[in-house]
Structure 1
């Protein structure tokens, strides 16, 4: 049995970033950038007005009370023009005429004379106007040639806005990790929905992993259910290898019982076992191996919360490494209730999060942490992670927290949970 840190180090050490592929930006939401994106132009691309008003050249003639002839109008989308005498009416976003360097807001002027068509002909300034007032300068958001997004960044709507503004229509993204799921257990009822047979259960691990992996950006190639014998499991492994997957995740049959055949089956298949058993709760019997044909195998215990922990704290780091993303930034919260973990084991506790009246993130472990219970998982906001060497944890101490699912965004409740007496 090895520590969690040692297990992750062995798991990630041989991994390399997957190949890249080019996608239209409109289809790249949720994908991971393969390379750093450099800006092909400055943003803004020209000096323009920050508000409706009048463009002018700041100086001695732009004092409050001075009067000016309005010689033209400049709207957004108009090409550049040379500044004339006086001032030029200008609209928000319009290019600043050459020779002008400031804009006075329309509400800080007084119209003295209009033309027959109603447009202003002569105005008076109500304030002194300084150089650069109400002007958005070229390149002040993004200079030309600047690195705007690093490789490994996930393309979200905010990135779509930025890259679209820069005129970038296609991007190189990391190929999605291809994953196969194998659920073991003769008790798992398969086929069309039907009343459960005696001694059978519905498969919840397969649907959970499929949903969690897809949300994390993986391509789930297959999800097979096999019984508790070696031959069907080896067939499913062979199917995964032939499909060219990068990762195989299996659930169940990985502990020490008579029907826990997975460790022997993997060795029979020629796999190199990286580790078997991790000092943690839940999920201690977890096994990792590398197949001769290159896919990585993570064999998780079949208990629902062991599967959830394996997915969140082993599969998620593997997917990040395959996509060229670094480790997740550490997140911490104040522990709201004392915990007494078993020494020598890393504990993963389902928890609720909320902000207290001082703006501090609070975390409380939910009741009923038994690994077979799914309802508390569905009601939780996050995981509390207690280190192997942490010992007893008093209320009020700082602890590590992690998002509930493979994605890294936290769910935070509106207030502290109700505690049943």
Structure 2
């Protein structure tokens, strides 16, 4: 990636120096580069970025030099101008135009030798290092225009459901989409980018087409009824994402993504068509339900073209639980980002389930992780109050439990 797009990614290999730092012997001070003993006859002036002195300094010669300017062959030291004096009197400060200078010059002082800071070819950062703003500056200083990184996984979000609306107060029988708004932040927190979001009506045809399958002839009506937004590009802090691989309607709305997230349609009700569509497309279903509450009807599949598909339940808290335990680990694996490992005692009463693991919203405290309540599958209230989810195994008897980190701010 170009340096301008690599911030926050992890290196896919070592960052090595394409050039030495400094690239040549340079002056570390404003003053005079001298050879032999003084007094010295000033034979030239060299500024940083200016023409270097092409000759070798002879004993008794000096050049007026600026910090960062190349030191000529034969120079034994740089004498700071504060320690220099004009032989004929007056100031010996750089730019004064004196012909002779004298003073005390310590052998080898104030010259930075080529490669003294970083040798050419040296490995300065290892693979998996995060590309920070400082790392970008270092890479530029070492001659790099691009970096080999693990790119942000591109995530396409398909929101299904005739009952789901995107704005305003929902009419009776309708609900606001609460999953689509939290997914971009969660995806970014886990290392990815939402690059496309599409609303789909219920039914297999629109879902099949969005995943890249064909539209049947009898499906024209439902296709026209689907909401196909224009291909806008998500932005990150004002930066436009690169235009890469975005599919047309005919090619599938999610064709340019690395991971596809389907919100809803992952259960086994009459309006849940994801499994049938995946079967039609020849996908390999890797996970079909997890013994967890909330979030049981989650799904992971690999599409024939290699893309991963994550199916999230339609209930908001259930979808959040599945996203944290299935989608987020996938994105971290793709970017090489280790997950946070944490355990805690529970400071409060928790009812364990007889067969399934429970995910309970909690807040950390000195006494342990305290349940905050409001944890029904259809409500995000408890999760919004919490800073972690406690993993309570079936038949839990009071031992310490794992905590699953929530994105910053709950």
The match for 2:336 is 326
Instruction: Answer whether contact 1:68 1:87 (CA < 8 A) is retained.
Output: no
Q: Deviations over 1:162-186 (max 9, x none)?
A: 2322333345566664433222333
Structure with more contact order per residue of length (Cα contacts < 8 Å, sep ≥ 6): 1
The match for 2:26 is 48
Instruction: Find the structure with the greater CA-based Rg.
Output: 2
Residues 50-65 of structure 1 correspond to what in structure 2 (within 5 A)?
A: 50-56=28-34
Residue 161 of structure 1: which of 126, 137, 143 is its match? Answer: 137
The match for 2:49 is 77
The match for 1:96 is 71
Distance in 1 of aligned mates of 2:186 and 2:256: 21
Corresponding position: 1:197 with 2:171: yes
Distance in 2 of aligned mates of 1:130 and 1:196: 81
The CA deviation at 1:188 is: 0.7
Count of residue pairs the alignment pairs up:
358
Instruction: Answer whether contact 1:74 1:91 (CA < 8 A) is retained.
Output: yes
Residue range with higher mean Cα deviation, 164-173 or 93-102? 164-173
The CA deviation at 1:139 is: 1.9
Instruction: Answer whether contact 1:177 1:247 (CA < 8 A) is retained.
Output: yes
Aligned residues: CA RMSD: 4.5
SS at structure 2 position matched to 1:97: coil
The match for 1:224 is 199
Corresponding position: 1:124 with 2:136: no
Corresponding position: 1:283 with 2:298: no
- Structure 1 gap segments, 5+ residues each: 1-22, 62-66, 357-361, 405-409, 413-421
Q: Deviations over 1:99-141 (max 9, x none)?
A: 335445444566673379735643433xx8363x443332234
Q: Cα–Cα, structure 1 residues 99 and 340, in superposed 2: closer, same or farther, change >3 Å?
A: farther
Instruction: Answer whether contact 1:248 1:295 (CA < 8 A) is retained.
Output: yes
How high is the TM-score relative to the length of structure 1? 0.65
SS at structure 2 position matched to 1:248: strand
Residues 370-389 of structure 1 correspond to what in structure 2 (within 5 A)?
A: 370=375, 372-374=378-380, 377=383, 383=388, 386=391
Distance in 2 of aligned mates of 1:391 and 1:107: 76
Q: Cα–Cα, structure 1 residues 249 and 76, in superposed 2: closer, same or farther, change >3 Å?
A: same
Distance in 2 of aligned mates of 1:339 and 1:80: 77
The match for 2:347 is 338
Q: Cα–Cα, structure 1 residues 110 and 310, in superposed 2: closer, same or farther, change >3 Å?
A: farther
The CA deviation at 1:45 is: 0.7
The match for 2:229 is none
SS at structure 1 position matched to 2:317: helix
The CA deviation at 1:197 is: 0.8
Q: Cα–Cα, structure 1 residues 402 and 69, in superposed 2: closer, same or farther, change >3 Å?
A: farther
The match for 1:14 is none
Residue 284 of structure 2: which of 259, 272, 293 is its match? Answer: 272
Instruction: Answer whether contact 2:360 2:392 (CA < 8 A) is retained.
Output: no
Distance in 1 of aligned mates of 2:84 and 2:368: 56
The match for 1:136 is 112
- Structure 2 gap segments, 5+ residues each: 214-246
Distance in 2 of aligned mates of 1:134 and 1:339: 65
Distance in 2 of aligned mates of 1:105 and 1:338: 66
How high is the TM-score relative to the length of structure 2? 0.67
The CA deviation at 1:261 is: 4.9
